[in-house]
Amino acid sequence: MPLNIIFFGPPGAGKGTQAKIIEDKYGLKQLSTGDMLRAEIKAETELGLAAKKVMDRGELVSDQIVIDMIAGRVDSPECAKGVIFDGFPRTEAQALALDAMLKARGQSIDIVMELKVDDGALVARIEKRAKEEGRSDDNVEALKNRLAQYRSYSAEVLPYYNAPREIAVIDGMAPIADVTVQIENILNLGQAA
Ligand code: AP5
């Protein structure tokens, strides 16, 4: 049975970093709506150009855009072992759509993990990445909005997932390798590598 995980956390929490490590080690597929949107921007598609304006302000793109992106990927053979949903869902509408998508395939979300990192460390990480990678939403104004958005949508989405199960809280302040170990322990993956 596939293993479906959600990585939830503020900008710079390490969702993408950890999702890639778990993907490489265990063959689960990382589906990052942020990465998919950035691929659209890079390809200069109509969707990408429209999304860029919203993303550069640090706001959320529309539910339907990201739901369609995820729906277009969940049946790919790469997802056979399971999916790490990275940055999705961010609204209750997205969570409901994801549940319906998985239910139609006889699946569900197995574990939700919340990566917790202090705001000061997030700002430092994003400032560092801005210098290294030049991501256009990694600037002071957009980050302020992204953090405010996070506070608002986490209050909407976390209770949705906390009801049927407990959310696994990860100390995202730890060094990258230690964060991975925390995740592996929760997933019982440590010995399988
Ligand atoms: P998205 O791409 O999802 O960005 P985000 O949530 O802001 O997250 P980041 O990519 O900034 O951080 P991360 O947690 O992945 O951290 P990372 O591993 O990269 O979304 C971007 C935008 O797209 C949104 O604002 C929105 O507009 C739109 N969007 C996307 N999904 C959407 C949705 N579902 N609905 C609506 N709109 C959506 O790490 C960050 C840095 O820290 C890296 O340099 C890394 O090397 C470093 N680092 C990682 N872990 C550690 C550690 N433990 N110690 C020290 N440094 C670390």
Residue 160 lies in a domain: yes
Q: What is the pLDDT of residue 188?
A: 86
Separation between Cα atoms, residue 11 and residue 126, nearest integer Å: 8
What pLDDT does 59 receive? 97
List of the chain residues with pLDDT < 70? 164, 190-193
* Residue 107: domain span: 5-188
Q: Is the CB of 82 under 6 A from ligand 1?
A: no
pLDDT at 189: 76
For 30-52, what is each residue's pLDDT tens digit? 999 999 999 999 999 999 999 99
How many Å lie between the centroid of ligand 1 and the Cα of residue 34? 8
Contact 74, 104 (CB under 8 A): no
Q: pLDDT value at position 93?
A: 97
On whether residue 63 sits in a domain, the answer given is: yes
CA distances from 101 to 77, 94, 141 (A): 16, 10, 35
C-alpha to C-alpha distance for 54 and 79, rounded to whole angstroms:
29
- Phi (first) and psi of residue 136, to 5 degrees: -70, -15
Structure-token pair, residue 154? 């986490």
Helix (H) or strand (E) holding 86: strand 82-86
Paired strand residues for 83: 4, 29
H helices within the chain, ranges in order?
Answer: 15-26, 33-42, 46-56, 63-71, 92-103, 119-133, 140-162, 176-187
29 within a domain of the structure (yes/no): yes
* Contact by Cβ (8 Å): 31, 70: yes
Quote the pLDDT of residue 193.
47
In a domain, 149, yes or no: yes
**Residue 69, domain member (yes or no):** yes
* 15 Cβ below 6 A of ligand 1: yes
Number of domains present in the structure of the chain: 1
| CATH number for 123 | 3.40.50.300
The closest residue, in CA terms, to atom 30 on ligand 1 is 34
SS3 84: strand
Mutation pick for ligand 1 pocket among 7, 8, 15, 171 (CB with most ligand atoms within 8 Å)? 15
- Assess if residue 127 is contained within a domain: yes
